[in-house]
Amino acid sequence: MARVFITGSSEGLGLMAGQLLIAQGHGVVLHARNDQRATDTRRASSAAEGIVIGDLQSIAQTRQVAEQVNALGAFDAVIHNAGVGYREPRRLVTEDGLPHVFAVNTLAPYILTALIHPPRRLVYLSSGLHQNGDASLHDLTWEKRPWRGQQAYSDSKFHDVLLAFAIARRWPKVFSNALEPGWVPTRMGGAGAPDDLKAGYQTQVWLAVGNDKQAKVSGEYFYHQKLRSPKAETRDHDRQEKLVEDCHRISGIKLLPAP
């Protein structure tokens, strides 16, 4: 049985993935943004091994999340699931002076990847909207462009694929993959979302612990347990490295060398 840490697991796909993993007998550590959400998370999933607390829009709190995870020992898989959506009407700014969407969806998975002792498998939640992401990577923090919430979300989900693929190249012993869950009816997706909710979180679980040889690959992109072609620019090594370098510069946190 595996030990799995899932970010943003107080509700939605992260919580459902955690509940499925627990039902399969795996050890699961969940994550909530604050004490109140940790109480909600504990109520929703009392069999979780633990709940780590921290708001991923803050670099300092994201560091603390990584410290809490490392204090709990080794993990077989980490699922970078936490995310915020595309309905932000203006450039909401975090305590670090960054756009909220970039901080939670791009920088936090980078920081956690850099600071958590590398597990055997990494899973990054992207979205079909990553296909619309700005491949130039020229203005990650939206200082030059007029704000467009859906574009900021699409950019961040493009970054998640670049990050998954950058890690796959740097850490050959780790399976690092990205997936899109489909447009599914969570709080983010909305009640009318048409895709198969179960297939969304099952794919996270399959990539984290599955024994099929199709799940034990690296540097791939999935939809409902099937390979899907990501935006072509996600395969570009220079873009992958630029994202890593920019996240390093912005956060001051460097990726660990290959385990």
Ligand X SMILES: NC(=O)c1ccc[n+]([C@@H]2O[C@H](COP(=O)([O-])OP(=O)(O)OC[C@H]3O[C@@H](n4cnc5c(N)ncnc54)[C@H](OP(=O)(O)O)[C@@H]3O)[C@@H](O)[C@H]2O)c1
Give the Cα separation of 166 and 88 in Å (integer): 28
Give the Cα separation of 122 and 205 in Å (integer): 11
Q: Please select the residue that binds ligand X; options are 3, 4, 5, 8, rule is CB under 6 A.
A: 8
Residue with structure tokens 């597990």?
119
Question: Within 193-212, which residues bind ligand X (CB under 6 A)?
Answer: 193
Q: Please select the residue that binds ligand X; options are 33, 121, 170, 239, rule is CB under 6 A.
A: 33
Interface with ligand X, residue 12, by CB under 6 A:
yes
Q: Please select the residue that binds ligand X; options are 96, 183, 210, 236, rule is CB under 6 A.
A: 183
Assess whether 157 carries a catalytic annotation: yes
Q: Measured at the alpha carbon of residue 215, what is the angle toward residues 157 and 83, in degrees to the nearest 5?
A: 25
Active-site hit among 110, 157, 201, 223 = 157
The nearest distance, CB 161 to ligand X, in angstroms, is 12
Token pair belonging to 144: 């030059």
DSSP strand pairing (27-32 vs 221-223): unpaired
Interface with ligand X, residue 163, by CB under 6 A:
no
Q: Please select the residue that binds ligand X; options are 43, 144, 173, 187, rule is CB under 6 A.
A: 187
Give the Cα separation of 74 and 34 in Å (integer): 23
The nearest distance, CB 109 to ligand X, in angstroms, is 9
Token pair belonging to 143: 């200082």
- On the CB side of 163, how many CA atoms lie within 13 Å of its CA? 30
The nearest distance, CB 39 to ligand X, in angstroms, is 11
Tally the residues of the chain. 259
The nearest distance, CB 254 to ligand X, in angstroms, is 22
| 3-class DSSP assignment, residue 157 | helix
Judged by CB under 6 A, the number of residues near ligand X is 28
Question: Within 100-119, which residues bind ligand X (CB under 6 A)?
Answer: 104
The nearest distance, CB 68 to ligand X, in angstroms, is 13
Per-residue binder mask for ligand X (CB under 6 A), 40-59, x = binder? ---------------xxx--
Give the Cα separation of 26 and 20 in Å (integer): 9
Interface with ligand X, residue 13, by CB under 6 A:
yes
Instruction: Please identify, using beta-carbon distances, which residue of 45 and 218 lies nearer to ligand X.
Output: 45
| 3-class DSSP assignment, residue 167 | helix
Label each residue of 51-106 as H, E or C. Answer: EEECCCCCHHHHHHHHHHHHHCCCCCEEEECCCCCCCCCCCCECCCCCEHHHHHHH
Residue with structure tokens 């504990």?
42
Instruction: Please identify, using beta-carbon distances, which residue of 36 and 258 lies nearer to ligand X.
Output: 36
Task: Point out which residues bind ligand X (CB under 6 A).
Answer: 8-14, 33, 37, 55-57, 81-84, 104, 125, 127, 180-181, 183-184, 186-189, 193
